């Protein structure tokens, strides 16, 4: 196949993907996250009141001088808040919820933050920490609703985290919502929420294992692993996130959540198991934990991750009429991919590298799993970093239900449990 034919073949693949997304009813072209970008913001509440224990923090998307609720969190006095927010046109409201009704009552202290600035779309240009001051004399402009009960009644949201309890049978873990996170991140944030979720109460004696899905995925992608989950040594956690934003911003959000959970529960170790693009997010998380603090990660299991990038993503970032910011980071040679190697993790992390092979070869994935080429999974620096490498005859998504791959994941956990 010559160069021109290869490009036409690739363009056809991208157009088919876009048509599929449009047909799913997710209104791809209307996705504000795709058009304008999403960045991570974090901060803390400043309050002189000693009465309340919980603050409600609400993130708004500002349109025409009015605020539309995108997300909210419950924050204790020692905690911080963190959101994936529009790259421009956002603001925050906080109030001290003294009676726990989720509504701003007359006597409750409140505060309003109008940053008048943009947050990063893959750039480290957000403040180290925002400060949102609440007081009994605080004011909130008209046009910013503060009734969470009404908001919750209009969307299918998961409970606010980090560490909220849920189950994988929840409808928001179905495939259409995963696709929404890719094509319309802000719609995902409003409709779903997102973050680190538990499926059972935290137990101090059990090591947390965080599962991270790939592009367009959901925690339900791990159903076959959960079907074989029979260990009492570990507790499964799931990171559910919109996969359209820049990967740096996703990793920053995840790092904040892990730090908040560590503050709350005091755990010292965290294992990571990640599929596809989720492996890149996991690797960036490890960098941030090592450089900025957090629990240690002795084990990373990456499955079919494109460590050398995806030619298709590079083509899409350069030529697609609809831009998904995460494609920029998935392009071969991207700044993000190169930055993953800024920290040598080999002395501290045992990286088990799993991948699939045996699919029909294409110009995009020669000898790969139908999505990721073997040479991308086995990128030389990552191959050198790996503690062990395992290949399975399986396609990209099907590997998560491959009997042999699932058995290997469980064997790794069993071996690592005996190591300590």
* Whether residue 203 sits in one domain with residue 86: no
* Whether residue 180 sits in one domain with residue 70: no
Q: Would you state the torsion angle of the CA atoms of residues 338, 14, 400, 301, taken in this order, to the nearest 10 degrees?
A: 0
The answer to whether residue 394 sits within a structural domain is: yes
Q: What is the pLDDT of residues 58-114, one digit of tens each?
A: 999 998 889 999 999 999 888 899 999 998 889 999 999 988 888 899 889 999 998
pTM for the complete prediction? 0.90
* Residue-level pLDDT at 3: 44
Q: Where are the beta strands (DSSP E) in 241-383?
A: 271-275, 299-303, 350-357
* Whether residue 245 sits in one domain with residue 302: yes
- Give the number of other CB atoms < 10 A from CB of residue 229: 17
Q: Which of 352, 211, 218, 217 is closest to 272 using CA atoms? A: 211
* Whether residue 282 sits in one domain with residue 175: yes
* Whether residue 168 sits in one domain with residue 148: no
Q: Which of 131, 152, 173 marks a domain boundary?
A: 152
CATH of residue 405's domain is 3.40.50.1820
* Whether residue 191 sits in one domain with residue 124: no
- The 8-class DSSP code of residue 401 comes to G
Q: Which of 226, 102, 242 is closest to 172 using CA atoms? A: 242
How many domains, the chain? 2
Q: Give the domain range for residue 95.
A: 37-152
CATH of residue 96's domain is 2.60.40.1120
The answer to whether residue 22 sits within a structural domain is: no
* Whether residue 91 sits in one domain with residue 183: no
Q: What is the pLDDT along the chain (420 residues), one digit of tens a residue?
A: 444 444 444 444 543 444 343 333 333 333 433 445 899 999 999 987 666 689 999 999 998 889 999 999 999 888 899 999 998 889 999 999 988 888 899 889 999 998 865 454 444 444 457 989 999 999 999 999 998 888 888 887 888 889 999 999 999 999 999 999 999 999 999 999 999 999 999 999 999 999 999 999 999 999 999 999 988 899 999 999 999 999 999 999 999 999 999 999 999 999 999 999 999 999 999 999 999 999 999 999 999 999 999 988 888 778 777 889 999 999 999 999 999 999 999 989 999 999 999 855 454 455 788 999 999 999 999 999 999 999 999 999 999 999 999 999 999 999 998 776
* Whether residue 207 sits in one domain with residue 62: no
* Whether residue 172 sits in one domain with residue 129: no
- Give the number of other CB atoms < 10 A from CB of residue 310: 23
User: CB-based contacts of 348: which residues, under 8 Å, 6+ apart?
Assistant: 290, 296, 297, 298
* Whether residue 201 sits in one domain with residue 174: yes
Q: Which of 155, 9, 188 is closest to 83 using CA atoms? A: 188
Query: Distance (Å, rounded) from C-alpha 342 to C-alpha 334?
Result: 14
């Amino acid at each position: 196949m010559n160069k021109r034919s290869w490009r036409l073949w690739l363009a056809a693949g991208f157009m088919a993907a876009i048509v599929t997304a449009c047909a799913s009813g997710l209104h791809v072209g209307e996705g504000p996250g795709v058009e304008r970008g999403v960045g991570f913001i974090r901060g803390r509440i400043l309050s002189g009141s000693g009465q309340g224990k919980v603050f409600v923090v609400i993130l708004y998307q500002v349109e025409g001088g009015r605020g539309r609720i995108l997300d909210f969190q419950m924050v204790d006095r020692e905690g911080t808040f963190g959101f994936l927010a529009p790259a421009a046109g956002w603001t925050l409201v906080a109030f001290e919820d003294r009676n726990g009704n989720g509504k701003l009552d007359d006597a409750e202290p409140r505060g309003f933050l109008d940053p008048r600035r943009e947050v990063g779309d893959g750039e480290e240009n957000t403040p180290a920490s925002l400060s949102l001051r609440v007081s009994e004399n605080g004011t909130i402009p008209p046009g910013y609703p503060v009734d969470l009960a009404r908001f919750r009644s209009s969307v299918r949201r998961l409970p606010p985290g980090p560490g909220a309890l849920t189950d994988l049978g929840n409808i928001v873990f179905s495939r259409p919502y995963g696709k929404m996170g890719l094509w319309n991140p802000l719609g995902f944030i409003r409709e779903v929420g997102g973050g680190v979720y538990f499926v059972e109460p935290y137990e101090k004696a059990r090591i947390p294992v965080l599962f991270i899905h790939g592009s367009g995925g959901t925690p339900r992608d791990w159903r076959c692993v959960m079907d074989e989950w029979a260990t009492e040594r570990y507790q499964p956690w799931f990171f559910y996130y919109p996969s359209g934003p820049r990967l740096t911003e996703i990793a920053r959000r995840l790092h904040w959540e892990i730090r908040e959970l560590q503050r709350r529960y005091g755990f010292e170790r965290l294992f990571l198991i990640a599929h596809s693009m989720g492996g890149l997010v996991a690797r960036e998380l490890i960098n941030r934990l090592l450089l900025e603090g957090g629990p240690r990660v002795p084990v990373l299991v990456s499955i079919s991750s494109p460590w050398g990038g995806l030619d298709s993503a590079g083509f899409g970032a350069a030529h697609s009429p609809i831009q998904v910011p995460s494609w920029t980071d998935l392009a071969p040679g991207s700044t993000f991919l190169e930055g993953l190697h800024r920290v040598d993790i080999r002395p501290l992390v045992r990286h088990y590298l799993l991948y699939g092979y045996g699919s029909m070869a294409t110009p995009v994935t020669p000898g790969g799993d139908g999505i990721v080429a073997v040479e991308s999974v086995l990128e030389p620096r990552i191959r050198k970093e790996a503690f062990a490498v395992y290949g399975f005859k399986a396609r990209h998504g099907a590997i998560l239900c491959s009997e042999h791959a699932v058995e290997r994941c469980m064997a790794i956990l069993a071996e690592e449990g005996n190591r300590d």
